[in-house]
Amino acid sequence: MTPAAPTPAYRRLSVEERRSQLLAAALSLFANHAPEDVSLDDVAETAGVSRPLVYRYFPGGKQQLYEAALRSAAEELQHCFDEPRQGPLLPRLSRALDRYLAFVDQHDTGFSALLQGGSVVETSRTTAIVDGVRRAAADHIISHLQVTDPGPRLRMTIRMWITAVEAASLIWLDEDKQPPAEELRDWLVEQFVAVLSVTARRDPQTDALVRAVLADG
Amino acid sequence: MTPAAPTPAYRRLSVEERRSQLLAAALSLFANHAPEDVSLDDVAETAGVSRPLVYRYFPGGKQQLYEAALRSAAEELQHCFDEPRQGPLLPRLSRALDRYLAFVDQHDTGFSALLQGGSVVETSRTTAIVDGVRRAAADHIISHLQVTDPGPRLRMTIRMWITAVEAASLIWLDEDKQPPAEELRDWLVEQFVAVLSVTARRDPQTDALVRAVLADG
């Protein structure tokens, strides 16, 4: 890794501020480097503090920092799904996808490393964090569709689409972010309607939903 | 784990036969139990041999056995995709999916543990084996579609659909294999046509393909 900018002067931070500062430094590194390429020294250098100070806050070292950074990224990602429950449904989905793709764009290397599996820092805990984000995405969609008791076919369709969006994001990063984010977003929204329409043929609940979504514009 | 059936009498096997026997025992265990619930003692007991004999063939212990079993399962899975290049395209896809879903059915616990990530035996090597199967699936589809130079949009669509099929398989196992395999298979084929049709709107290559597939029956 390249040397950091000149170390900023130490200043007294509260425990909470210091913790946030270290976490922000870790997140910025893990977002744009594979986890095996990030050392505690890098985190200390980026935060402008000593390595022992990093250890004092994160005695579990790199693994603990990675998990904390991941938890913080997961929270940020879940905020992408916050969308007022008003106006036509598909533009709401488009706006959420815009924020999601901007997140993927900003955390590219870390996003790929995390989701491609087999990473040195992957554990059942990191997997659980990622699964939590997937579940949150599905819950958001179901709540926007105003379905109180989604049946298995509808839930399966939504979870499959979310997985397909994840796959598309990874391929998109792999292909130098082509096609442009706006085109990818429109394409994903069209796929959402298409797979729901297929499910509608064999599921009355989904059929009613698709009619409502399409009537809604 | 439950005690195995009475140990079969030892008989002289060639090195290759013995290795295959141990691998088959490991595969049967890893297919239906989470990797953390399988011990080398279980493998020895299932194969009706001593633990030191297992170590002689697999000095890397459980991790090495797991990877060898995974490689053998990956080969078996790739055979599911073998389908003569004749007759209408969608029935070919249906037959391949039937074999794939039968494989998922027979290897249920191991399949889930493998793909859900964060497992104790997951490494960059196991991830590479799984990715190899995904790539083989995409190559098979592209070759059946008789496309020699698939563009990025077509490739992305096919890879997204393969990921969605994987997600559907995991959910299917999670939901006690409902809906029935035949219904799931038809649904997945319909989704294949639907997502290709969406891509066709923005990609002339895919558009020509979809017309050919639909004309073909």
Which two structure tokens, joined as six digits, stand for B200? 């066709």
Alpha carbon distances (Å) from A28 to A20, A25, A61, A133, B117: 12, 5, 17, 20, 24
Residue A8 has pLDDT above 70, yes or no: no
Taking a contact as any Cβ pair under 8 Å apart, which residues of chain B between 60 and 119 contact chain A? 116-119
pLDDT digits (tens, 9 = 90+) for A126-179: 889 999 999 999 999 999 999 989 999 999 999 999 999 999 999 999 999 999
Reference B29, options B149, B109, B121, B145; nearest CA is: B109
Which residue on chain A is closest to B162 by alpha carbon? A164
What pLDDT, on the 0 to 100 scale, is given for residue B8? 54
pLDDT digits (tens, 9 = 90+) for B1-55: 555 555 555 667 899 999 999 999 999 999 989 888 999 999 999 999 999 999 9
Q: Under an 8 A CB cutoff, do A161 and B156 touch?
A: no
Cis peptide before A179 (omega within 30 of 0): yes
pLDDT digits (tens, 9 = 90+) for B92-122: 999 999 999 999 999 998 888 888 776 777 7
pLDDT digits (tens, 9 = 90+) for A41-61: 999 999 999 999 999 999 999
Residue B173 has pLDDT above 70, yes or no: yes
What pLDDT, on the 0 to 100 scale, is given for residue A43? 95
Q: How confident is the model at residue A2 (pLDDT cuts 50, 70, 90)?
A: low
CA gap B94, B92 in Å, rounded: 5
- Chain A CB contacts of B166 below 8 Å: 163
Domains and CATH numbers, chain B: 15-63 (1.10.10.60), 81-215 (1.10.357.10)
DSSP 8-state assignment for residue A36: G
Calculate ∠ Cα A74-A75-A79, nearest 5°.
Answer: 115
Of the partner residues B126, B127, B155, the one whose CB lies closest to the CB of residue A116: B127
Alpha carbon distances (Å) from A137 to A132, A142, A143, B66: 9, 9, 10, 33
pLDDT digits (tens, 9 = 90+) for A173-202: 999 999 999 999 999 999 999 999 999 999
Mean pLDDT of chain A: 91
Amino acid (one-letter) located at B212: A
Amino acid (one-letter) located at A61: G
Q: What is the CA radius of gyration of chain A?
A: 20
What pLDDT, on the 0 to 100 scale, is given for residue A217? 62
What pLDDT, on the 0 to 100 scale, is given for residue B3? 52
Which of A131, A187, A206 is the best residue to mutate to test the B interface, defined by the most B CB atoms within 10 Å of its own CB? Answer: A187
Of the partner residues A127, A178, A195, the one whose CB lies closest to the CB of residue B195: A195
Of the partner residues A123, A168, A190, the one whose CB lies closest to the CB of residue B160: A168
